[in-house]
Amino acid sequence: MKRNIKYIIVLILNLAIITAICILSVVGHSMAVSQKYNYTADIWKNGSSESFAQTSVFLSDDSGFTTDSINAVRAELVKELQNVSIETDGKNLPYAEAYSTPAGTYTIRGDLTGKSDAILTAVGGDFFMFRNFKLVSGSFFGEGDLMHDGAVIDRNLAWELYGSYDVAGMYLYIDGVKFYISGVIENPESEPEKNCIGKLPRIYVSYDGVAEILKLSGNNENSTVVSEKFNKITCYETVFPNPVENFAYNSVKKQFSENYKDKYSIVKNSTRFKASVRSKAFRKISDYAVIKNNINYPYWENASRIVEFKLTFIYFSRKILIIVPALTAIWLVILAVMFLKRKKPAVLRAVSIFIDRRRRDIKEKIFKKQEKV
């Protein structure tokens, strides 16, 4: 009776732990997929069998990396591809890239009486593909647009300016510079993003758009932007071919490690939320508590870092819990082996009887077929 109780306790314990493991897995997966910007490689790949990986580089304000630095980086990245026999046509990049930087806080005005302070971000490349913003109305602008006077705003700013979200095509003004509203985007949905984005609305314009603002405003005392900062890049992102593990990451890192030492931070977006990566990161969990550089991360990256921190505990805990079912399985195997050793003669007799019966059955079937013939 005591032995049966022991087995029941072990069974209940394992069922509880397996349930906890399943819950942690579901919660972890849900948290990871909520940070959509880390899955741009899947969008770019679009069903292709080729392998791509997403990498993000974040730079300090004094790094010196600007829009003028992009061409040099592109040339070196193309060389990296050519070294592994990946063809490039010299015109279209065989990878996706985006870059951006905060451009300050401005008072945004509409055609009517609406106005609101908002955080302005200068963007370039495939910025909106990397952000995976959800459109409420309108569309995104791109570098290929003939004019660079488009602006993408969030729904909070749309409401403050016009009391509506369906305002694509209408106009807004930043320090007297006129922009048309290309699109309105939904506010962040995940809790980490809501906690990191702040209370002010957001507006996104091209680097040329910011330059136009600065031409008119100069060092306006009402603006937090100074004229020489508009070409600065503090966030550079790529979705790069990854024919072998870490090729994309190493290719991008190489471009920054030599020229921007101690002034950049690089992230492997495509693998950052994997259980194996996060459980190993538990040994370096203090890195999240100590700031080792003067990089100001954008809100989407801060949100992902919060998720990374939580997933480190979730997946490490899951890894520890898995030990119990694993040990139980080993224990059951040992019990089975011991049982078989004790019952070996009986088992062998049972096997022998079974084999003999099968032989007789086969012989009878053969005999009956011969009789019919």
> How many other C-beta atoms lie within 10 A of the C-beta of residue 309?
17
pLDDT at 367: 67
What region, left, alpha or beta, does residue 46 occupy, with left being phi > 0 and alpha being psi -120 to 50 degrees? left
What local confidence, expressed as pLDDT, does residue 270 receive?
94
**CA 225 – CA 306 distance, rounded (Å):** 29
**According to the model, what pLDDT value does residue 289 have?**
58
Is beta strand 235-241 parallel, antiparallel or unpaired with respect to 52-59?
antiparallel
What is the rounded distance in angstroms from the CA atom of residue 240 to the CA atom of residue 228? 30
Instruction: Take residue 227 and report the two structure tokens written for it.
Output: 């004229």
DSSP letters for 49-76 = SS-EEEEEEEE-TTS--BGGGHHHHHHH
Residue 368: phi and psi, rounded to 5, are: -65, -35
**CA nearest neighbour of 274 among 46, 84, 25, 60:** 25
CB 86 within 8 A of CB 241: yes
Instruction: Indicate the domain borders of the chain.
Output: 1-34+273-279+299-342, 36-271, 344-373
Query: For the segment 277-334, what is each residue's pLDDT rounded down to a tens digit?
Result: 998 888 877 766 566 678 989 999 999 999 999 999 999 999 999 999 999 999 888 8
Global confidence as pTM: 0.83
**Strand duo 135-138 + 150-154: pairing:** unpaired
Residues 123 and 100: beta-carbon distance below 8 Å: yes
Q: What is the CA radius of gyration of the chain?
A: 30
Supply φ then ψ for residue 322, to 5 degrees.
-60, -25
For residue 319, what pLDDT is reported?
93
State the pLDDT at residue 335. Answer: 84
Give the residue ranges of the chain where pLDDT is below 50: 219-228
